[in-house]
Amino acid sequence: MCGICCFVSFSVEHCRKDLKEDLLCNLKRRGPDSSKQLLKCDMNYQCVFSGHVLHLRGVLTAQPVEDERGNVFLWNGEVFSGIKVEEIENDTQIMFNYLSSCKSESDIMSLFSEVQGPWSFIYYQASSHSLWFGRDFFGRRSLLWHFNDVDKSVCLSSVGPQTPGVANQWQEVPASGIFRIDLQSAAMAKHVRLQLYPWECISRENATEECDKSLTHASADLPMFVSVVANEAKLHLGTPVSPLNMTLPQAPLATHCSNISSVPPSRETLQVCLTDGHMKEVVEKFIDVLSVAVKRRVLCLQRDENPVPNGVLKTGDRKANVAILFSGGIDSMVIATLADRHIPLGEPIDLLNVAFVTKEKTVLSSRNKRTRKQKNHEMPPEEFSEGTAARGAGSPDENYSVPDRVTGKAGLKELQAVNPSRMWNFVEINVSLEELQQLRRTQISHLVQPLDTVLDDSIGCAVWFASRGTGWLVTQGEVKPYQSSAKVVLTGIGADEQLAGYSRHRVRFQTRGPEALNREIAMELGRISSRNLGRDDRVIGDHGKEARFPFLDENVVSFLNSLPIWEKANLTLPRGIGEKLILRLAAVELGLTASALLPKRAMQFGSRIAKMENSNEKASDKCGRLRIISLENLSLEKEVKS
């Protein structure tokens, strides 16, 4: 995983050799293992390339990489399949070798059509003065763009700092396909023309309409000197997943589960569903394909073969390489169980469980407030959480018994029963209102933007604190401060979108039927890049960690897309069974118990961050707390409060 950036200037008087310090700082946090900058000058334009690498596989390859012909490549991705990458090889160099050998635009389209895994990239093709860039089909890696008409510049970056009082500086590059800029033409015309090479339309009869939608979406909110057009060669990328099966039931749903629709959910009721031979076969195939997706994501990383001298491992010496955003819910439980199959047994797995102090318990005595202000006066953000935790070391859980903490502890016991030989590190991450407000201002708001709703604030903050991994381990009655060393963070995003896990899915099914539910699921997958994934990549990447999404593996999505809706979710069945039915049945097959029946609970509610500061706001409201404020205003705010 990397922080990548390219700044292009078409104006001689505004040329620069270095990126701004705040932008570099944010990029370096994403890629702490290597930083490098490269300047390319032409008569009509200048490009500054900046690469910051988080080393996870193969030989450490500094970025940007350049070949003897002057081509330059920046890669923020993982090749999990489609193109062969040996265990000792680095996928950045492999991708660059392939790109350098491409002789036409069509060759480039063929290459990226083959790649399976998350990616964003920037590629400068010297011979044609072309700048290519884009994100994968689901938008699992962040890439932002910023166009400045004043100094005639274009900037592409994994993350972008926001300037107080300036709106819409950075926007997410749409995951609509790959873009190309002819830099010479743009310099001479004083107009940036973005040629789009879109993903192939799955529905042939709607191909023209879908292409128009892609162009419209990509053109949104761009300045006047920028336009998006279809590429002149009419080329496209091959869509990496199968089309969604829109088949409708010919009669009212009748399965082995139908006779339990009025019975309270239990593990036995799910076992009844598995007596259907066809359903059991489907579930077993689902487990197999999801298991392979998890395996790729937990093994494609660098491991220390000899972590301690003489091979003697003590409990405190064992470092986790993989962590899971863990609520104890069905999504994270299944991922944890499958990860346990593939991660070496002597290696711990970190289960990151975040909780925000409930509102009524944030009121401190004036004496405690004064003490806290004195102690935290000049504490750096990185030390803030540990210092806050240390002051309550006697009972870290006292004020943080939120729903996700309760189900998380129950889930831990289930996992320990599945594999008692595994060291499961249940990390209790406790966040006070004071810490939330400080770190939102200084760090998180920059990462969540350009998204700006109350929901983005809640989820962005929760994921940032969880993935940081600073918390507590409670083992054998002993409480210890803990910092997760894992560079890979698995998350369950994508399960609800594909398996009708949200309450809105049940409402849509009950009011408009299975056809409307199919359309809703298709829409969910189509918009996941702009609603979730870029934000989550920026937030998790800020800690020098990489987010990986097993439920959005191309083969997993294709398998689920191939099934009719009633084999994935049966919303005639009660809550806790009908939604994400296939995943619940998989959980039973994997030996899980109570977690297989837990109904969906959104992270913002389970962690209790939602409505923590304003009980009257709606998730879709614009969030004033994400407003970027200057350091001067921040100092003034502190003076007023004190």
Place of tokens 């809703």: 520
- Contacts for 527 with CB less than 8 Å, ≥ 6 apart: none
Three-state DSSP at 287 gives: helix
Residues 179/160, Cβ–Cβ less than 8 Å: no
In Å, what is the CA distance from 471 to each residue of 76, 368, 381, 393?
A: 29, 22, 14, 11
Indicate the angle between helix axes 277-299 and 581-589, nearest 10 degrees: 80
Return the number of other C-beta atoms located less than 10 Å from residue 292's C-beta: 18
- Distance (Å, whole) CA 238 – CA 606: 39
Its sign, for the CA torsion 161, 541, 56, 123, is negative
- Distance (Å, whole) CA 132 – CA 121: 8
- Distance (Å, whole) CA 426 – CA 428: 6
- The candidate with the shortest Cα–Cα distance to 533, out of 494, 578, 580, 481, is 494
Integer Rg of the chain from CA = 25
Q: Kindly give the residue spans of alpha helices, DSSP state H, lying in 38-122.
A: 91-101, 105-114
Q: 297-316 as b/e, with b when 16 or more CB fall inside 10 Å?
A: bbbbbeeeeeeeeeeeeeee
Sheet arrangement for strand 171-172: 34-41, 46-53, 2-9, 153-157, 144-148, 171-172
- Distance (Å, whole) CA 109 – CA 230: 14
Quick check: is 257 catalytic?
Answer: no
Element (H, E) at 369: helix 366-375
Q: What is the DSSP letter of 324?
A: E
Three-state DSSP at 175 gives: coil
In Å, what is the CA distance from 428 to each residue of 79, 322, 408, 440, 465?
A: 33, 16, 9, 20, 11
In Å, what is the CA distance from 35 to each residue of 51, 222, 300, 538?
A: 6, 30, 22, 18
Cα(first)–Cα(last) distance of the chain, in Å? 41
- Distance (Å, whole) CA 407 – CA 396: 17
515-523 long-range Cβ contacts below 8 angstroms, 24+ apart: 515/246, 515/248, 517/565, 517/569, 517/571, 518/244, 518/246, 518/248, 518/565, 521/244, 521/497, 521/565, 522/244, 522/246
Structure tokens at 385: 């959480």
Return the number of other C-beta atoms located less than 10 Å from residue 209's C-beta: 11
Catalytic residue, from 2, 6, 47, 273: name it. 2
Residues 323/347, Cβ–Cβ less than 8 Å: no
Residue 299 pairs with which residues in a beta bridge? none
In Å, what is the CA distance from 322 to each residue of 163, 325, 598?
A: 35, 10, 25
Residue 7 pairs with which residues in a beta bridge? 48, 155
Residues labelled catalytic = 2
